[in-house]
Structure 1
Amino acid sequence: MWSINRFPIAWLLPALLPVAFITIYPIAHALWTSLHQVMILFPVEPFVGLDNYKRVVTSDYFLDALRNSLLFTAIAAPSVVILGVAIALFLQRRFFGSQVIRSIVLLPWVLPGAISAVLWVWVFHPSFGVLNGLLLNLGLIDESIPWLTSPKLALYAVVVAHVWTQIPFAVVLVMAALASINSEVLEAGEIDCRSPYKRFRHIVFPEIKAMVVVLLVYNALTAFTSYDLVYAMTGGGPGTATTLLSFQIWRESFSMYDFGAGSAVAFIVVLISAVLIIAITRALPSDLFAKEEAS
């Protein structure tokens, strides 16, 4: 006799089927689009195989966009994790006004990307930006620095804005990991190890390293697929200085109206993201999650 206990998956089907449909169908349709010549001005959609991928990879912008995306990720992801851990360690301490500071630190998390971009454009604006005004008043510079219009500086300005928006999430997760550490272990560490650096390295970090790795992988993917800040702050310029692969997806699809090429770029981004995940996880020590599995 059929029993629900023999097929527990049946309990999940009402929830899994809608999720699978709204996930698998768009991915399958995007893959189909990447293999066809889909342009909004032409109703015919002939099959072109891998021609879209070939056109994308051999295009003038691809190498620049790939280099910018990898550099953006290499700077942003570790910066978010390092600053997130440092701020979380600071906020774990009890001091006057700590609750207020925690609320302020979380503020960038609730702001939409477009609003964050407007704030940072105001900070980095070459003519009336807050940063240039501060540096000029302090006498550190003699003339305004073109943060967003210089090909050498624009990408780093966008990285700063991206890191600012992602730090709150890292702080929340690291604080949760710190809160789960046994207080007796911390008290013993304070007695046995006077150096804050050694105490963090030998006692605190082993307890939160799994969370740190998760954050590193998450932020690598977030940085590599970042789009909204780039679009709102620089529009991919000046030139191709801040053109990322994720931004190029929008440009091919909604500026050039070549949805086949846009979908091809999207799947290239997915493939490179998968390679990044594998590379990061392979570089980790094999016993990283041993404690979590044992518990």
Structure 2
Amino acid sequence: MWAIKRYPLLWLLPALLPVAAFIVYPVAYAFWTSLHQVMLLFPGEPFVGFDNYARVLTSSYFRTAFLNSVVFMLLAAPLVVILGVSAALFLQRRFAGSMLVRSVVLLPWVLPGAISAVLWIWVFHPSFGIINGVLLGVGAVDTPIQWLNTPRLAFACVLVAHVWTQIPFAVVLTMAALSAINSETLEAATIDCRNGWKRFWYVVFPEVKAMIVVLLIYNALIAFTTYDLVYAMTGGGPGTATTLLAFQIWRESFAMYDFGAGSALAFVMVAVAALLIVLITRALPSDLFGERP
């Protein structure tokens, strides 16, 4: 009892032990793996230091995967936030069937990534996809469009699927921020300003801008580290058109059985994501989340 009073952190041991078991140990083991040559096809695990990191960073596939991930992030994060905020503003209104529409909008949130990928494969499949069926039916095209077999189109298809899966979370958080706005303020703004865009920009946006920035940061990180849709929809192809860093980690580890390089690439991606967080945070205005005391 005396030890607990003197060292209150002992009370946290029941919570810290599972954290250490399920988070600290796997991360530490992954870092150990990144410093060794761990290949399933070769016996032994010799220490190689940072050779895995050097090999990963100087490879041609890293440059391609990194650029794909950055472009994907720069496109996906703003699209999710813009569409999510727009949907939230629409769903805040009361109209017939509003609850049903809200349920439909939130549906992608409860679907696992693999199931969402299968749904979008049905949409974009060259042979039996819904889009090609409609386009061929109305005579807009003569031959099926190879959505998932053309590099730029495949990248756009994965981007659309990713945005679709992430919009519900943005809608929920934005609606929560909108519900916190004083109703009297909104009524006064409606009376004083008939222009909906100006009303949003000068009245609503200042109240929800902190939430919008949080959503931008969150969706930037989610887009930069996305994996499941790429794996299920395109397998990183055609070629390397949709190969993102997270998918390349899987490819190094479980396709090439080079767990050392895969672990090194994972820590490189974590370092890049941490750098992005720091840069975005430093770029934010100091009064974004309220005045500092």
- TM bracket, shorter-chain basis: over 0.9
- The CA deviation at 1:126 is 1.3
> What are the residue-to-residue correspondences of 1:1-295 with 2, within 5 Å?
9-290=9-290
The one-letter code of the counterpart of 1:27 is V
User: How large is the RMSD of aligned CA atoms in angstroms?
Assistant: 1.9
Q: Secondary structure at the match of 1:153?
A: helix
- Using the TM superposition, name which of 58-67 and 71-80 deviates more: 58-67
- Using the TM superposition, name which of 55-64 and 170-179 deviates more: 55-64
Q: Secondary structure at the match of 2:109?
A: helix
The one-letter code of the counterpart of 1:32 is W
1:203–1:5 CA distance, 2 compared to 1 (3 A): farther
TM-score (norm 1): 0.94
The one-letter code of the counterpart of 2:56 is V
Q: Structure 1, residues 216-251: CA drift from partner, whole Å, max 9, x if none?
A: 111111111111110110001100011111001111
- The CA deviation at 1:89 is 0.5
- Using the TM superposition, name which of 120-129 and 89-98 deviates more: 120-129
Identity of matched residues, %? 71
The one-letter code of the counterpart of 1:268 is V
Q: Secondary structure at the match of 1:173?
A: helix
Alignment gaps of 5+ in structure 2 = none
The one-letter code of the counterpart of 2:193 is C
The one-letter code of the counterpart of 2:275 is V
- The CA deviation at 1:2 is 5.2
Alignment gaps of 5+ in structure 1 = none
Q: Structure 1, residues 27-77: CA drift from partner, whole Å, max 9, x if none?
A: 111111111101123331111011101111122311111111111111111
Once residues 88 and 6 of structure 1 are traced to their aligned partners in structure 2, the CA distance between those partners, rounded to angstroms, is: 51
- The CA deviation at 1:203 is 1.2
Aligned residues: 293
- Using the TM superposition, name which of 281-290 and 88-97 deviates more: 281-290
TM-score (norm 2): 0.94
Once residues 195 and 82 of structure 2 are traced to their aligned partners in structure 1, the CA distance between those partners, rounded to angstroms, is: 19
Once residues 135 and 75 of structure 1 are traced to their aligned partners in structure 2, the CA distance between those partners, rounded to angstroms, is: 26
- Using the TM superposition, name which of 57-66 and 94-103 deviates more: 57-66
